[in-house]
Each structure stands twice: as structure tokens, then as C-alpha cells.
Chains A and B, each alone.
Chain A
């Protein structure tokens, strides 16, 4: 269905509706009461089905009205009495069950049921049979999802069950041709319609399953039949066929009728294809797809190898570098260079040590020389010897000189002593003489007098006296107190006249 929002024509819209309705109601069973029956010259029936609330337009085309016959086309049931003619069934007010698909009749803008089957209601028709059987098989677990098996991928051996004369095998083969690997498709022919169809299908299923045990046996069963009316497909609704599918050891892929047809065999099969063509598509991937897969694998293969090689190359390069770095010659070179470096260092260290020692030695030697010079030592020794000699020589001389000196001084002392005594003697005598001569009282004896003042001081001159002064005149036999009466200095000289007291 187109989803664009453009303005559509009535025809376009109706066409869309028609497709939608046909897709959603491909096959329905409807029950209702017949009304408005008409049968124009075309032979088609037009009528309505209705109930209390709704009504449905129905058309029953002439080609579909082939219900006549001694047996039921769907169930194979042989009628004791021939089935009623269509016009007998479509009586006004009759309660009917109609099967068919819903369509739209464009010219009248009307939806309608396109009838395929008509049965009187309450008579136990196909619909009830189908529904009842479906319920029963479902209860038995025939349709259970958990027992569905996966189809083998891209199978090489396929058992095909269908009619060799039908359209299905052609469709299947045409669609299969460009798909999958070169497979072996073995047809197990079966009657797919009408009397004996069900047993024939069951036999084919059994044979294919029996062959599955052989080494070259099929891997999968494909059960197909072209589209047809409900009764054409009825064999696939038979319980024995469903049972055979259910029992199948091989996975079963069913593609029966058109997309809209669902049979019990379809429901029981492991995988259901919409049509025989679809079955071929489900069974095999397209060859282009396979080739693409192969291309992908090849590319992955190449990539994987490329990556591997690149990695190895990288590793190799790395290892080669390592190897070169660890080659004996290189090792030797490295060791040699280390040795040289160490040797230089050692030499330098030794040299430096020697220089340092030399310097130390020089210094010490210098110090030593300054203390320990033989010439200087000899000189010192000589000097010491000389000094000693001088010392030794000096001492006696010093002693004798001191002796002499002592003796000399001794003599001088003796002489001096004696002289001192004699001189003192002489001086004493002389002094004694002088003393005698100098006695102030001596002259007094010879008539001299000694004049003194009150204080005892001798008066030498007239100038020392003043009138009235009392003076003492000492005479040889006493003293006279006198008073100065007159002073008569000598010519040229002041004379003093002493007045006696």
C-alpha cells in the first residue's frame, strides 16, 4: 500500500482497498440468512447474507457452482442422496454457511463475499470439519512451535513430494534453478487432489523418510501443490496426511496452494512456505548470495593471511634488530669501548694520584730539607763544637781572672782599710787641732767677748743692734747683760756703742 499523501483518484483508492481487503480476508467462513437472491442470465448468483445486525453482499460465480456429484468434493463423503442444487440451497431465508474471500467490486464501490462453497448451516460442513480437526490436532501438539525443526542450510539432497504434472513442480524448479548448490532433487510422485490423494501423499512421505536412512538419502522433504479451490486442497487437510507430516523424521517444508491457503499439513510442517516458489526460496540461498559469501570468505582469508604476514614481518624485523644488537662483534665492540673508557679513567686516576703524591712528597721533602740539611747540620755541629770548646776554654780563664780580681780587690781592700784608718787618724788629729783652735770660748780667755741677742744669736755687726736692745756679753768667766746706749759705726762703718747693764 502506498503511503504517500498525494491526492488519489477514486480508482487508485479503491484498488488499494481491494488489495488490502483481499489480503486480510483471503478465505473466510460466514454464517447468515439468505436474502435478495437473484440469478441473471450470466448464471451467477447474487444474494445477501444477514443476521440481526448486519448484512453482507455475496456473489457466487457460475464456475464455482459445481457442487453436483455423488460425493462431497472436500471430504470425499459419498452422498446417499445427491447434494442439493444451488438454487435449492439459496432459498430466501435459509440459514447458510458460505466460504470464500472478501473482495471489492469497484464499479459499485461495494465489498462482497466471493463465495466458493455453500452449505446448509447446522449440517456439519467442511468448515466445521476443518475447525474441529484443527482443534484436535492442536491439542495433540501437532502445531507446537517447539517441535518445529530448522531446515538444513543449502541442502544437497531434497525429497520433493508433489504431482509430476502440476504447476507446482515447474514453479519450484524454476525458482530453484538460480539458487543453492547443485542439489539432487528426487521427486516422490503423489496424487495431490481428489480421491486417493491423501493415501498417496502419506505413501510418498513414508518412502522419502525410509530413504532418509540411506547414505544418499534426502535431507529434507518439500511438500508442495499449486493453488486451487478449497476442495482442490482438501487432501492436505486430511488427518492421515497431517499425521504423516507429524511423524516425519526429515524436516518438512510445506508450500501448498496460494499464500492465503492454510492447510493442516501446512500447520503441521516444520516450515511453511506461502507457495511452491516460495518453498524453493526458503530452501536454498540464492547462488549470488552464496558467491558473495564465498567472496567474503575469500577476502577474510586474504586479510587474515595478510595480517599474519605483516605481524610476522614486524616480528622478524624486530628480532633481526635485536639479533644485530646482540651480535658477538657488537658485543665485543661494546666491551672494548667500555674497557677503553675504564682504562682512560684508570690512567687519569693514577696520574692524578701520582701528581698528588709528588706534590705531597715535594712538600714534605721541602719541609724535611728545611729541617734536615746535612751541610747545615755539619755547620751547626762545628759551631756547637767550637762553642763547646770555647766554653770549656772560657771557664778556667774566667775562674783565674775572677781569682786575680778577687785577690786584687782583697789587696785593695786591705790597703784601703789601712789608709782609711791612718787618714782618719790624721784627720782626727787635724780636726782636734782645728777644734781646739775653733773653740769660741777660747778667745774669751784671751779677753774677747761674745755678744749675743736675747735669742742667743751672735751679733756680728752694729747694724744688728738698735738702741735700747738688751744684749748678752759672754766673757771667760761669766756673762754680762747690757743695754745698747750708743751705736757708733766705724768710719765707713757703723759702730756700735754698747752700754753695759
Chain B
């Protein structure tokens, strides 16, 4: 620091710039004068769509994003309005949410909790998103749900099937429309008993992570209640692609039913292996050997091809449903994208509408007001019949579809046929059911 020569000219110049800077409207504030995080302005409101765009569930993520774009279009009054016209609540009129135009930002969860949280945080901190929705894995949903609780933002879960999302990891700011493992088990068991009898011995192959565990437990307890016996339950690594070594011991185990608690690519591979091993033609204990896939999706059925024929499973929604809501949704989705929507697309579309509707009914974007509007809210016309958003655990209760791989598909989308629509009473459980115990909603957090 030897040559610091302040000339008069330089001092004047610097002074002029500095005073120009000070003359700009400047204010300093800590968060907390609007009453809640990211209060929207008068003309726009920003929603955050956080979906996997890369990684194993990228297909589901892409379909979710399509549905979100469609929902935003409908909320802003574009397109044919989709399910807005069939929805039992009529407060949404195509002028955005509370008169504010709906904008959105997107992010990539990479199906990793860390990346999902980073992406959600940037939506909250940088883009001012008032609500975060999306995800297609329970781990991600639980992680982002906890983040939204801490930040004071509403989280509308996307595709997440594990019991824990609204069980032991439930949060006051988080809501789930999708069904869960328990419901799958409860819906499937009677159909299985009717088709395969009550004297069966089941062998489980379970993906070795949280969702696998809850699904195995749910299917086990539901089928055992009907007289089935569980011979063995084997965990398989999530990254496994060849299941031959797991399938080989099944035939000699004395079991006559194989339950594949697998999802996505895992299920496609394990089912294909099982069929290649001739399990479907095999006989055991004097009965035909059967395979069951508790959670089905059309995208998975497509991957497994002809192997899914005649195999039972459950699903949240299917595009071939004939109620007004489903027809309207399939119509507008098909017109825009040229193919029918998946169940992931359906649940995310519905979640966006439900959020917009709750804000409008509460006449406020304040998360606590939204929570109040959604709790114990009953609605209809969104594709699943009469539905209840239970206040005790923020889980939707609605009919569950039991489906079966179609024997003679007419086209590449027509892969599943609905065997039975299990009524909601049969899949309802107490909020403190053992499979959901240990959770605590806490109270809603409006943030700042």
C-alpha cells in the first residue's frame, strides 16, 4: 500500500457515484412483515414443480411435468379447462389463483433427497415459490415435505406410495393425494382370495428400501388376515438388474405365490426373470403358481411387455376410467400431448387443482389458512369418485383400483384392465394404525 494517491478529481468522482448509489431507494429488512413466507404480489403467483428429470424415474417425472403445465394452463383460463368443470368445488374460474396469474418454475430432483431439497430451496429462496409439489419417490417426498415444513411452504406430494409419507414422517404443511402401501394391500387381498383361494403360501421379493418395507408389511398383513401363509421374504438391492439368483430358490421353497414388491425398472426386470424361469406355467402344492405386483403403473406395464398379462396389482388411477372427471382429463391431456396420461400425471394435476381451490376457498395464500381449507375437505369429480382429505394425517381417502395385465391389448397404452374398484371404506384405517404409528403432524408453519 505505497501508491494510494487521492487526487481531488478522484475523490469528487467517487463521491458523486456513491451519492448516486445512496439516492436509489434503499431499504434493509429482515423477513417477517408479511406474516408468511413468499407472499405473492398482486399480479402473479409462482408455484414450484420439483420432479425427477434425470435418473431412474425420469419417465414419471416427465409425465408429471406435462400434467403440471396442463394444470397451469387450465387455472389461467387456457385450453378446455379439463377437470375444472367436473370438480365438485366451483370456485376456480380460470382467472388464475385469487386473480393472480399462475407462473411456475421447474427443478430436477434427480430422485435424490439432497438434490431435491437443494432444488426446492432455490425455488423458495430465489424464485419466491409459494407452494412446492412433485417428486416420484417416497424418500424425496419425505425430505422435501420436511423442508417445506421448516420453511413455511405448502407441499403437495406427487407420486409417493410409502406409508411413511403420511405415517411416521407426516407433516402439517404436507398433503398426499396418492394412495399408499396399506391401501394397496387392503384392496388387493380380497381380490386375491377370490381368485386364488385362501390356502396359499406367499414368497416376497422386496426392494431393499423404505417403500419396499412398508409395501411388504402391508401385503403380508392383509393376505395373512385372509388365511395366507408367508413362506419367506427376501430383500433385493435397489440397484439389482438381474433377479435370476433370487427367483431360482422360489420354486423349491414350497410357495405357490410370488409377490414382487418392486417398482419401476426393478419390477420390469424381476417380473421378466420370473416369467423366463417358467413360474407362470409351474404348479406348486397342486395349484397354479401365481405372481402379484402390488403397485402397478402403465409405464411399468409398458416396460414389462407381454409378461404382465393376467398379473394382479393395484393402481391409483387409470385413464380408461369412465367417470366425467377422468374423461375430461384424458381428453385435454390427449389433445395437448397425443397420448393418455399416467397415474403420476393424474395425481399431480389433481394436487395442483386442489391447492388452487383451497387457496381460493380460504381467500388467502397463508399456508395455515390453506391447511385449514384442505383438512377434512370432501370433494368429487377429480377421477377417483368421492374423496376425503383427512385432517388427522393429510392423506386422501378414495376408492382404489385393482388391475390386471390385459390379455389382448388393443394398443400400446391399453395394457391394464380394471378388475375391481375397491370402495373407500375397505381401505380406510385409523390414523394411529400400527403401520402408520409414530408420526406427529405438528402444527402448520406459515414461515417468516
Chains A and B are bound partners? no
